[in-house]
Amino acid sequence: MPRKISFGLLWLGFISYAFLLAPPDQPDTLELIKNLSKGNFQGINTVMIALYYIMGI
């Protein structure tokens, strides 16, 4: 049980970093994240979609 909790906290920490602390370098980054979260994949590079799914979101 402690292992599940620690992995869950680690996963939550990575997700929090990706959305809150990692600043977008390009002006379209926030729009890209919104489109990926909503499932609107039209016009997005397939590599970016694959990386999004690999992150486990």
**Mean pLDDT per 10-residue segment, the chain (57 residues):** 93 86 74 86 88 77
Residues 6+ apart with CB under 8 A from 18: 55
Q: Dihedral of CA 19/22/27/29: which sign? A: negative
Domain ranges of the chain: 24-57
Q: For residue 5, what pLDDT is reported?
A: 95
pLDDT at 57: 56
Give pLDDT, residue 11. Answer: 93
- Confidence at residue 15, expressed as pLDDT on a 0 to 100 scale: 86
